[in-house]
């Protein structure tokens, strides 16, 4: 077992973690980044990104994350392709243990572990992930301009995504498991008044189909009832809007979180309830969950950590 010491430990990668590493490195803080189970975060599963500034012709998600990573390395960040499995924030330096049993003692910690979109659990979701299946309409909706798509969910998020997609797609199916929408009254009204949105109540998706790309979905209505019926819809995009799960369980004994598990930060800063521990990116953002906003909070977290260290000396 090895024990190493650092001024800044960054747990997680993606736009927030790599940006924090870049800023911390340029401040000569020599940060250590633990990339986690998915180096580069959710964007490594995204085919084309066209809404990140600086890429006028678009860029593939894995390529952009590699650019982020290389830039952090260029300024001296140390990056480990491992995950932190245990933390102790009871005192400084904070003590964190990785999956190989090595220990990192850190003066400050930046948490950037992200959030994972919830999926239905269908095998076909994995097959078509990035090839028609998406957990973010804002990220990927543009690629389905003039096409038929579906959104799964019945809450505000699902309605918002359906309305957004209705401005791009020719047809939007809103697949709702129950017989009612759970969204606010105003959102329900907007969805019902949008002519190219069709709500499929009492419906569950039981499979997806297509050769290389998604071509459609198998739907069952009134599952388990006498009027149960099976039918297919032809779609090229399938958007999950049944929520996200922040990857924050490891911190639950130390860090204040909201009822959904998102880390609470203080005001416009990235400070958590533990002095010297900061949060950036989707793990602390239940609202936006965009690469550009995650990168911005990564910058802020590094600056907050730098100032905290200056005041602690």
Active site residues: 136, 139-140
Pick from 194, 192, 172, 169: nearest CA to 181: 192
Phi-psi region of 127 (alpha: psi -120 to 50; beta: other; left: phi over 0): alpha
User: Could you tell me if 97 and 4 are in contact, meaning their C-beta atoms sit under 8 angstroms apart?
Assistant: no
Contact 256, 268 (CB under 8 A): no
Q: What token pair was written down for 111?
A: 């948490």
Sheet containing strand 229-234, edge to edge, reads: 203-209, 216-221, 229-234
CA dihedral 301, 275, 287, 35 (to 10 degrees): 50
The helix/strand/coil state of 84 is: strand
Token pair for 176: 């709702």
């Amino acid at each position: 077992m090895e024990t190493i010491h650092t001024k800044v430990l960054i747990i997680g990668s993606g736009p927030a973690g790599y940006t924090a590493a870049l800023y911390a490195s340029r401040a000569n803080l020599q940060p250590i980044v633990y990339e986690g189970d998915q180096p580069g975060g959710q964007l490594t599963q995204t085919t084309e990104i066209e809404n990140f500034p600086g890429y006028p012709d678009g860029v593939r998600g894995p390529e952009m994350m590699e650019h982020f990573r290389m830039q952090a390395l260029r300024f001296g960040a140390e990056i480990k392709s491992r995950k932190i499995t245990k933390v102790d924030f009871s005192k400084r330096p904070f003590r964190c243990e990785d999956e190989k049993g090595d220990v990192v003692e850190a003066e400050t910690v930046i948490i950037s572990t992200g959030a994972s979109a919830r999926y239905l659990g269908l095998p076909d979701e994995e097959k078509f992930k990035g090839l028609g299946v998406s957990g973010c309409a804002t990220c990927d909706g543009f690629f389905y301009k003039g096409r038929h798509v579906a959104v799964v969910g019945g809450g505000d998020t699902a309605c918002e995504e359906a309305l957004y997609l209705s401005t791009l797609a020719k047809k939007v199916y809103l697949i709702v498991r129950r017989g009612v929408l759970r969204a606010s009254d105003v959102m329900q009204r907007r969805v019902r008044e949008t002519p190219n949105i069709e709500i499929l109540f009492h419906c569950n998706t039981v499979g997806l189909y297509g050769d290389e790309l998604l071509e459609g979905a198998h739907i069952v209505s009134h599952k388990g009832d006498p009027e149960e019926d099976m039918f297919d819809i032809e779609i090229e995009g399938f958007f999950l809007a049944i929520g996200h799960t922040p990857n924050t369980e490891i911190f639950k004994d130390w860090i204040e979180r909201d009822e959904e598990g998102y880390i609470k930060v203080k005001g416009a800063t990235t400070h958590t309830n533990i002095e010297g521990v900061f949060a950036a990116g989707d793990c602390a953002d239940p609202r936006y969950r965009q690469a550009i906003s995650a990168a911005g909070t990564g910058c802020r977290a590094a600056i907050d950590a730098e100032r905290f260290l200056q005041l602690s000396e």
